[in-house]
């Protein structure tokens, strides 16, 4: 380890969450959740809707009460030092915490005042962050005329304007198109490099999970595994096959008994991870009567496959063949 | 607790309400036209059925009641938005800002107060037609009465908005509790010697209406048993209590993030 103060500092976690348990009425949404973040780390909670990730972030953001467990920031319990802690965090909620009737500039000014900045500093900060988000030319337009992506950028500027040490984001790119997704993340990665800001986020987008240094795979309020995206992907086989069939039983049996694989049945689709999918496909097709398989697709295994493999749950809602929108368990 | 955080939070919430008010000119029109119509129509209609002591006619009597109504509806509209605001909108960031809940409530109250003063100011232009001489109004007391009434009603509105998670429930409370509170506050009819008097006397809004009435008409004798200074004192106590309860109510966390 480095013998300098900075190096020693980074040994102790910046944010430490231990044994969080949370209930809404009878429903237990967090079930003994623990993890810790070092300074400058981007940490993701990956899980589907209802996995408890928003609740965990709500507690860390001091938005929800702490029922059981502990959250420490720089080694101190946040419950004991609520105001100084709030000064050091920036929070991005699932729905933008902005006023659509006000202009972008006015929204940022409000955010600066909420952080106790005097007028002159508030004006400067608003200007600076509009510029950073590339929206200076729209500064005086009301937010209701902004696209979803632009609004999200203002929302992130709002949360960053007081230069927090910890940024808490709940599904920051939900409903955001590809262009804005990349744009936002390149800005966030730059910010992390420049200021060593620590980021914790909840997501169910595999491509967003890829942006994280480490991920907690979360299902039913419990982490299944915490690791880097690469280690998680390496823990499962390289390829993923998705087979659509009218006879799932036959295909499942075949994959299990003959190819010694562990397929997962998901309605009319069977998915299976394997080492060399291109070799497996012809062997599967030849082993079953003609017409049994409707389609068979090969792709690289993603974090969504990792999630499915580990928890047996899908990351997001899917559309079935019948066109029905269902949440799969 | 840092003063800058507290002042900043009040300023932020005040500014936002003000911008909303300025950018909705129809709202400005509504809040002045509606009470004017109500005063004219109800005042004329009830003129012969409600007997007012002394030489005052019913429209004179009803005028301070309408002022209280303006404050009531301004406070209701301003606080009802808190419900959605804190679940899906603007207020979430306010809740994790370093300012206190007291500043949150004071910020809301300062916004309402500003809007109330504009509306009350405009409505006061009609005072001479109601039989009040602008020269005879006790302006200092009047300003205090408007301030305290706004503080009282906005605080009650905040408590309601924080207690209920839906706009519909708030609407129900508004028509079952808030509007009836105004009706039996001496706004529409005076204390007249039957059982309703007791409701009037335990209703905090009665002291607001009495304070407004006494500042407009210094010769008026209130039948709340109490003298002018006691009425102001009770109104002050009720307002401070309501503010404390509102601050307490805001400690409750939302149901989800």
What pLDDT digit, counting tens, does each position of B184-224 carry?
Answer: 998 888 877 788 888 888 999 999 999 999 999 877 777 76
pLDDT-derived band at B53 (thresholds 50, 70, 90) equals: low
Closest-CA distance of chain B to residue A217, Å: 20
- What sign results for the dihedral spanned by CA atoms A182, A184, A187, A193? negative
Cβ contact A86–B97 (<8 Å):
yes
Say whether B232 sits in a helix, a strand or coil: helix
Pairing verdict, β A264-266 and A269-274 = antiparallel
What secondary structure does DSSP assign to A156-221, as a single string? HHHHHTT--SEEEEESTTTT--HHHHHHHHHHHHHHHHHH--EEEEEE--HHHHTT-SEEEEEETT
**pLDDT at residue B48 above 90?**
no
Using CB atoms, pick whichever of B7, B88, B96 lies closest to residue A61.
B96
What integer best gives the mean pLDDT of chain A? 87
Q: Which two tokens stand for residue A262?
A: 């562990």
Q: What's the pLDDT score for residue A274?
A: 84
Strand-by-strand arrangement of the A293-300 sheet: A264-266, A269-274, A239-245, A293-300
Using the predicted structure, report yes or no on whether residue A320 has a pLDDT greater than 50: no
Pair of tokens at residue B10: 């009040």
Alpha-carbon span B180 to B201, nearest angstrom: 14
ipTM above 0.85, yes or no: yes
A113 touches chain B (CB under 8 A): yes
B39: pLDDT strictly greater than 80? yes
DSSP H or E run through A73: strand A68-73
Whether the CB of A118 is below 8 Å from some CB of chain B: the reply is yes
The per-residue pLDDT for A329 is 32
Task: Classify A94 as helix, strand or coil.
Answer: coil
Inter-chain CB proximity B257 and A109 less than 8 Å: no
pLDDT at A323: 36
End-to-end CA distance of chain A: 45
> What pLDDT digit, counting tens, does each position of B102-147 carry?
999 999 999 999 999 999 999 999 999 999 999 989 999 999 999 9
pLDDT recorded at residue B54: 65
Name the band, by pLDDT with cuts 50, 70 and 90, for residue A9: very low
Beta pairing, strands A68-73 & A15-24: antiparallel
Q: Contact A63/B95, CB-based, under 8 Å?
A: yes
Long-range contacts of A294-299 (CB under 8 A, 24+ apart): A294/A244, A294/A245, A294/A246, A295/A243, A295/A244, A296/A241, A296/A242, A296/A243, A296/A244, A297/A241, A297/A242, A297/A243, A298/A239, A298/A240, A298/A241, A299/A239, A299/A240, A299/A242
Q: What are the residues whose beta carbons fall under 8 Å from the beta carbon of B120, sequence distance 6 or more?
A: B67, B70, B71, B146
pLDDT band at A55 (very low <50, low <70, confident <90, very high): very high
Which ranges in chain A belong to alpha helices (H)? 5-9, 53-60, 82-88, 104-114, 119-132, 148-160, 178-195, 206-209, 229-234, 248-253, 277-287, 303-311
Band of pLDDT at residue A167, cut at 50, 70 and 90: very high
- Compute the distance between CA of residue A278 and CA of residue A299 in angstroms, rounded to an integer: 10
Nearest CB to B93; choose among A55, A64, A158: A158
Compute the average pLDDT of residues A258-265: 85
Q: Per-domain residue ranges for chain B?
A: 3-249
Task: Decide: helix, strand or coil at residue B102.
Answer: helix
Confidence of residue A6 (pLDDT cuts 50, 70, 90): very low
Q: Check A113 against B254: CB less than 8 A apart.
A: no
A115 → closest Cβ in B90, B97, B256: B97
CA distance A46 to A218: 6
Instruction: Please say whether the beta carbons of B35 and B131 come within 8 A.
Output: no
Q: What is the mean pLDDT of chain B?
A: 90
CA distances from A213 to A71, A79, A209, A310, B28 (A): 21, 27, 9, 19, 53
Q: How confident is the model at residue B257 (pLDDT cuts 50, 70, 90)?
A: low
Q: Which DSSP letter does residue B119 get? A: H
Q: Which helix (H) or strand (E) holds A17?
A: strand A15-24
User: Encoding tokens for residue B196?
Assistant: 């309703």
Residue in B11, B89, B255 nearest the CB of A97: B89
Chain-centre distance for alpha carbon B144? 13
What average pLDDT does the segment B36-52 reach?
84
Distances (CA, A) of A317 to A24, A296, A325: 23, 21, 7
**Tens-place pLDDT, residues A77-112:** 998 899 999 999 999 999 999 999 999 999 999 999
pLDDT at A261 over 50: yes
For residue A141, give Cα distances in angstroms to A104, A137, A144, A177, B201. 6, 9, 8, 22, 51
| Inter-chain residue contact B9 with A114, CB threshold 8 Å | yes
What structural domains and CATH numbers belong to chain A? 5-232 (3.40.50.300), 237-300 (3.30.70.100)
The tens digit of pLDDT for each residue in A266-310 reads 777 888 888 888 888 888 888 888 888 899 988 888 888 888 777
Q: Mean pLDDT throughout A63-80?
A: 93
Count Cβ atoms below 10 Å from residue A290 Cβ, excluding itself. 6
- Structural contact between residues A192 and A40, judged by C-beta atoms closer than 8 angstroms: yes
Write the residue in B2, B12, B92 that is nearest to A113 by C-beta: B12
Q: What does the block give as tokens for A145?
A: 């005329």
d(CA A129, CA A154): 8
Beta bridge partners of A272: A241
Instruction: Using alpha carbons, select from A205, A302, A283 the residue that is nearest to residue A243.
Output: A283
- Per CB-CB distance under 8 Å, the chain B contacts of A118 are 4
State whether B98 and A99 contact (CB < 8 Å).
Answer: no
Q: Is A51 on the interface with B (CB under 8 A)?
A: no
* pLDDT of the residue at B1: 59
Q: Which of A24, A63, A83 lies nearest to residue B92, judging by beta carbons?
A: A63
Torsion of CA A64, A68, A74, A80, to 10 degrees: 70
Interface test with B, best of A47, A52, A104, A116 (most B CBs within 10 A): A116
| Cβ within 8 Å, pair A64-B253 | yes
User: Residue B20: its chain A contacts at CB < 8 A?
Assistant: 101
Q: Across the interface, do B96 and A63 touch by the CB < 8 Å criterion?
A: yes
Q: Indicate yes or no: CB of B1 within 8 angstroms of CB of A83.
A: yes
pTM above 0.80, yes or no: yes
Residue A116 per-residue DSSP state: T
Are B98 and A95 an interchain contact pair (Cβ–Cβ within 8 Å)? no
Tens of pLDDT, residue by residue over A199-242, are 999 998 889 999 999 999 988 888 888 999 988 888 877 788 88
List, as one string, the DSSP characters of B170-213.
HHHHIIIIIHHHHIIIIISS---SSTHHHHHHH-HHHHHHHHHH
Decide if B90 and A63 are in contact by the 8 Å CB cutoff: no
Residue for token pair 């337009």:
A141
- The number of CA neighbours under 13 Å toward the Cβ of A53 is 28
Does the beta carbon of A101 lie under 8 angstroms from any beta carbon of chain B?
A: yes
pLDDT for the residue A213:
96
The rounded distance, in Å, linking the Cα atoms of B19 and B12 is 11
pLDDT-based confidence at residue B255 (cuts at 50, 70, 90): low
pLDDT score, position A43: 97
Quote the percentage of chain A above a pLDDT of 70: 92
Is the minimum CB–CB distance between A1 and chain B shorter than 8 Å?
A: no
């Amino acid at each position: 380890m480095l013998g300098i103060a900075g190096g020693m500092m980074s040994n102790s976690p910046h944010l430490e969450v231990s044994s969080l348990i949370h209930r809404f009425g009878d429903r237990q949404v967090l079930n003994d959740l623990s993890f810790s973040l070092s300074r400058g780390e981007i940490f993701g909670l990956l899980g589907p809707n209802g996995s408890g990730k928003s609740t965990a972030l709500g507690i860390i953001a001091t938005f929800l009460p702490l029922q059981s467990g502990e959250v420490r920031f720089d080694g101190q319990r946040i419950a004991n030092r609520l105001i100084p802690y709030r000064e050091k965090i920036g929070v991005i909620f699932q729905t933008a915490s902005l006023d659509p009737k006000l202009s972008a500039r006015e929204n940022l000014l409000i955010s600066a005042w909420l952080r106790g900045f005097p007028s002159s500093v508030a004006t400067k900060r608003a200007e600076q962050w509009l510029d950073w988000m590339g929206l200076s030319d729209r500064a005086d337009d009301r937010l209701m005329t902004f696209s979803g992506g632009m609004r999200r950028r203002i929302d992130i500027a709002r949360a960053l304007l007081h230069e927090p040490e910890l940024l808490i984001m709940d599904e920051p790119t939900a409903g955001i198109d590809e262009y804005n997704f990349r744009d936002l993340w390149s800005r966030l990665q730059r910010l992390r490099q420049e200021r060593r800001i620590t980021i914790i986020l909840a997501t169910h987008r595999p491509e967003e999970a890829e942006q994280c240094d480490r991920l907690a795979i979360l299902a039913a309020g419990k982490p299944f595994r915490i690791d880097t995206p690469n280690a998680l992907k390496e823990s499962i086989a390289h390829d993923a096959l998705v087979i659509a069939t009218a006879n799932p039983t036959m295909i499942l049996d075949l994959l299990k008994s003959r190819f010694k694989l562990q397929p997962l049945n998901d309605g009319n689709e069977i998915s299976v991870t394997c080492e060399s999918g291109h070799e497996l496909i012809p062997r599967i097709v030849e082993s079953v009567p003609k017409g049994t398989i409707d389609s068979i697709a090969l792709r690289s295994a993603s974090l969504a496959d990792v999630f499915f493999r580990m928890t047996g749950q899908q990351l997001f809602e899917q559309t079935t063949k019948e066109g029905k929108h269902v949440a799969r368990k | 607790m840092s003063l800058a955080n507290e002042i900043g939070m009040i300023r932020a919430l005040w500014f936002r309400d003000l911008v909303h008010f300025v950018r909705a000119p129809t709202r400005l029109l509504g809040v002045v036209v509606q009470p004017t119509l109500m005063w004219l129509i109800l005042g004329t209609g009830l003129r012969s059925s409600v007997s007012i002591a002394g030489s005052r006619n019913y429209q004179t009597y009803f005028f301070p009641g309408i002022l209280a109504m303006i404050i009531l509806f301004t406070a209701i509209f301003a606080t009802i938005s808190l419900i959605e605001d804190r679940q899906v909108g603007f207020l979430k960031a306010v809740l994790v800002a370093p300012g206190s809940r007291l500043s949150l409530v004071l910020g809301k109250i300062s916004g309402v107060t500003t809007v109330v003063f504009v509306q009350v100011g405009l409505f006061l232009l009609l005072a001479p037609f109601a039989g009040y001489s602008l020269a005879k109004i006790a302006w200092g007391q009047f300003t205090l009465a408007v301030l305290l009434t706004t503080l009282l009603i906005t605080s009650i509105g905040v408590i309601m908005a924080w207690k209920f998670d839906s706009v519909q429930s708030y609407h129900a409370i508004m028509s079952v509790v808030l509007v009836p509170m105004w009706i039996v506050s001496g706004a529409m009819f005076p204390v007249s010697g039957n059982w309703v008097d007791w409701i009037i006397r335990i209703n905090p809004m009665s002291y607001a209406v009495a304070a407004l009435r006494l500042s407009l008409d210094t010769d008026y004798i209130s039948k709340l048993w109490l003298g002018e200074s006691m009425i102001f004192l009770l109104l002050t106590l009720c307002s401070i209590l309501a503010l404390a309860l509102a601050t307490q109510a805001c400690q409750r966390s939302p149901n989800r993030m």
